[in-house]
Amino acid sequence: MVDHLLGIEGLSKTEIHRYLDAAHSFVEVSERDIKKVPTLRGKTIIHVFFEPSTRTLSSFDIAGKRLSADTINISASSSSVKKGETLLDTVRTLESMNPDVLVIRHSESGAAHFAARNLTRSSVVNAGDGAHEHPTQALLDLLTLRQHFASSKRPIEGLRIGFVGDVRHSRVARSNIWAHIALGNEVRLIGPPTLVPMDFARAFNSPLVNVVHDLREGLRDLDVVVCLRMQLERQSEHFVPNLDEYSKEFCVSERLLREFAPSSVVLHPGPMNRGTEISGEVADGPRSLIHRQVNNGVAVRMAVLYLLARTLDPREEGSER
């Protein structure tokens, strides 16, 4: 009976929309004077972050608190992991404190799945595992697109979306790609061959996913451009020769968007390196949905926590997976 959110891979279009529908109804809560509902009163949510995070952790924490849950934050730096305890012992120890949800961020791909397999009573939410998945980020990106395209009565099915930059190491891209495949959208992965290797795309085994190594060509006629964060350490790891050169070729600028994808909107998971992967003009301009993403992050996490941790009415249980 315990459900988890470990990744977008494997979710159906219906399941994705179920999260978005719930999130949609929570957006309004954060705009009220009294930004709080009693939904998860008496539930305990533990955030275990083995990697540092401001934005994702704050977003989950605010989401839990606005649902009236009790939230506990554990960071790796102060954790028993330092003392040599295994991940298994850590999560089992935490489960023994009867949390309803464990929200896990970890540098290893598969960490959240491993936790979920070994827990019996707590739900697990993957808040980012290595370069693997970051499902709540994909859901908030989708919610942002659904809101945007709703104004022109377009559904989020049938979009053309491009991911620009360090696709290879991006759990954000990976979760989003699975979602867009489920929605039937055309996905373009744009960047130099070191950051967008051909076999990366092949792993999704979908004709919808294509690789383009030229930014102009990649942007052409996109509805949505997702700029990915360039991590500065990539340079020393030789994935990019030099950040200046990189940004000359791959920084998403307003000039390029106007020419090649004039009606596109732009997303960025943050934190941004202005001038590296995205120009300040784009980030702050009218096609940027970036602050809307952050805003939706709280709503999406409220939805996920709600769907996992609420107490089901016994009569409903049959209809839940």
Instruction: Tell me the two tokens of residue 226.
Output: 């997702």
Residues 3-32 binding a second copy (CB under 8 A) are 30-32
Q: Please pick, from the candidates 13, 15, 79, 213, the single residue that binds a second copy as defined by CB under 8 A.
A: 79
Q: Does 78 bind a second copy (CB under 8 A)?
A: yes
Residues 275-294 binding a second copy (CB under 8 A) are 291-294
Q: Does 271 bind a second copy (CB under 8 A)?
A: yes
x-marked contacts with a second copy along 139-158 as a string, rule CB under 8 A: --------------------
201 contacts 189 by C-beta, under 8 angstroms: yes
246 contacts 239 by C-beta, under 8 angstroms: no
x-marked contacts with a second copy along 241-270 as a string, rule CB under 8 A: -----------------------------x
Minimum gap (Å) between residue 238 Cβ and a second copy: 20
Q: Does 297 bind a second copy (CB under 8 A)?
A: yes
Q: Does 237 bind a second copy (CB under 8 A)?
A: no
Q: Does 36 bind a second copy (CB under 8 A)?
A: yes
**Closer residue to a second copy in complex, CB, 272/307:** 272
Name the residues that contact a second copy, by CB under 8 A. 30-36, 41-44, 46, 52-55, 57-59, 61-62, 65-66, 70, 72, 74-75, 77-80, 82-86, 89-90, 92-99, 232, 270-274, 291-295, 297-298, 311
